[in-house]
Chain A
């Protein structure tokens, strides 16, 4: 299986706790025999390389340097994510099975690639705009929420880290409960459950007439 993980933070760029979580996830997936590409942002350490843990990291920078906020910054960065993911797709002779998008930042890219290549994605929720902004509903917050909603709508499965978050996703975005999978990080059988979600996403595409073997 070959998976691409999208995350806006990944070591050495650490913003919050997501960076190290994604690194542990990617490393363990490699140990379980998955080909893992991580597409992430870095201002100048750009390009693809194979790390010591076997993960292939591809870092992109923003083609538009000046921004008025994180939202416009994210929206123009997505095209570079699309470019690198598409390059990976073509370089591996279209043998990519799925995308795992971590939080909202690169949902637009995941959606484009899904529509373009019939490539499924799972949306892994670490946090939601509702909680980060304490319920603020300015146009800025609503725009981010609309992107999170798009992720829940277009993804094959939504992966959350707790029962509480599952209920929040249901409450905020009206997602059917059976579309949400709770996977507690580092818990017993953690990797088995992640791989189960991945296989399910790939299988869904097969039965929908996808091109993956």
Chain B
């Protein structure tokens, strides 16, 4: 157990470059792996103002030239960026005398870089599949989508082990790429609970969003169809017939205008507040002020907002789908409601708002669950154990050079 693992982790985004959820995931995982004695390098795209090499919280960061010439489309740019990534990482590995135990890829965005390096240096590859083209597009419809889909399949084929963040994603990846179950492992996403425990003047902050006599119902998510803000809007009159509330909708997307029109037609403009994007500082305070947090997604591979609500001790109502089904235990850590069903959602929200003791019980259980199962430190130890298993299997095999 004293062996010090050396891991190269590949991600197309890492702070300060933040596009989606992979950036914070890689940030927290790599930082906690370093804390747990793993020598870790993150290879990522460059970003204006960020140094090409630095050490962040014990993590060696290498930012490569992300290919800044014109490229015909996003996917082609990704493959060209991977060409540069392979070139610079190959030099890094050679300078480490090839002594790297694991290459770890996050999504197809770094597939061709990591697959090439795997074969050139004969280092085992671990891949995390955060989401799939099939899931994002609800099926495969064009050659462009199929090319990405097949690149994802190629990555799972080349990987020694495939990590998914929920049991839902494990079964989805097994089915959509035909990955054998002994290659798949579930290690959840995490949340840094301490970040959401903050002291501030709640009444003063809350006043900007809701009247003192209104319960604050919070939705956080991109305003796109699959996140289900429209289900909450349809449930709003049903909730308001039982309890006085303000609906605060955080996030932006192509559905913002249609949703606004719908709210206007319902005569509820005074009860629904669209904030647009908000910064982290505001978001954490909103979570802390919420009387109930609603996650009405129609499709959700994981459901990080549910974890953030739980970490902020906001009582949670979530639709019974994807990763949310696993995070929320009905009547214990939250309320589960039927997917795409405003009546069911209204029932769940009023159940919490009208029963303060019940809400209290839910949020205490939820907070304990977050600390127990979704803590980045614990997650990193599970990942480190996976690396050790892969290394042992590799050492026993004949593939090593």
Contacts and interface: CB of A to CB of B under 8 A. Distances in A.
Given A66-B147, A71-B72, A143-B71, A111 B87 contact: yes
Nearest to A115: B90
Contacts of B117: 112, 116
Interface in B286-310: none
A72 B75 contact: yes
Nearest to B69: A146
Contact of B72 (A90, A115, A139): A139
B94 A116 contact: yes
B93 A116 contact: yes
Interface string B115-159: 111011110000000000000000000011011011100100100
Interface in A48-76: 63-69, 71-72, 75-76
Contacts of A147: 83
Contacts of B80: 75, 143, 146
Contact of B94 (A75, A108, A115, A139): A115
Interface in B86-133: 86-88, 90-91, 93-94, 112, 115-117, 119-122
Interface stretch (A32-40, A77-85, A172-180): A77-85
A68 B120 contact: no
Instruction: Tell me whether chain B's interface is mostly helix, strand or loop, or mixed.
Output: helix
Contacts of B90: 112, 115-116
A82 B115 CA distance: 9
Given A116-B93, A116-B94, A142-B70, A79 B116 contact: yes
B401 interface: yes
A165 interface: no
B105 to A, nearest CB: 12
Given A76-B112, A116-B90, A68 B71 contact: no
Interface size classification for chain A:
20 to 34
A82 B76 CA distance: 19
Nearest to A94: B401
A112 B69 contact: no
A140 B72 contact: yes
A79 B83 contact: no
Contacts of B75: 68, 72
A76 B120 CA distance: 15
B366 to A, nearest CB: 42
Contact of A116 (B69, B121, B154): B121
A75 B70 contact: no
Given A115-B90, A115-B91, A63 B157 contact: yes
Interface string A134-155: 0000111011001100000000
A139 B120 CA distance: 30
Interface residues of B, number: 37
Contacts of A82: 116, 119-120
B120 A108 contact: no
Nearest to A139: B70
B91 A108 contact: no
Contacts of A146: 67, 69, 80
A118 interface: yes
Given A68-B75, A142-B69, A90 B122 contact: yes
B73 interface: yes
B151 A64 contact: yes
Nearest to B154: A63
Nearest to A140: B72
Given A75-B76, A115-B91, A143-B80, A86 B71 contact: no
Contacts of B143: 66-68
B79 interface: yes
A126 B193 CA distance: 60
A64 B116 contact: no
Closest 6 CB pairs of A and B: A83-B119, A75-B79, A115-B90, A139-B70, A66-B146, A116-B90
Given A67-B143, A75-B76, A79-B112, 16 more contacts: A63-B150, A63-B154, A63-B157, A64-B151, A68-B147, A71-B72, A71-B79, A72-B76, A83-B116, A86-B119, A90-B122, A115-B91, A139-B72, A142-B70, A143-B70, A143-B76
Interface of A: 63-69, 71-72, 75-76, 78-79, 82-83, 86-87, 90, 108-109, 111-113, 115-118, 138-140, 142-143, 146-147
28 contacts: A63-B150, A64-B150, A64-B154, A66-B147, A67-B143, A71-B76, A72-B76, A72-B79, A75-B112, A78-B116, A79-B115, A79-B116, A79-B119, A82-B116, A86-B119, A86-B120, A90-B122, A111-B83, A112-B87, A115-B91, A115-B94, A116-B90, A116-B93, A138-B72, A139-B71, A142-B70, A143-B76, A146-B69
Interface of B: 67, 69-73, 75-76, 79-80, 82-83, 86-88, 90-91, 93-94, 112, 115-117, 119-122, 143-144, 146-147, 149-151, 154, 157, 401
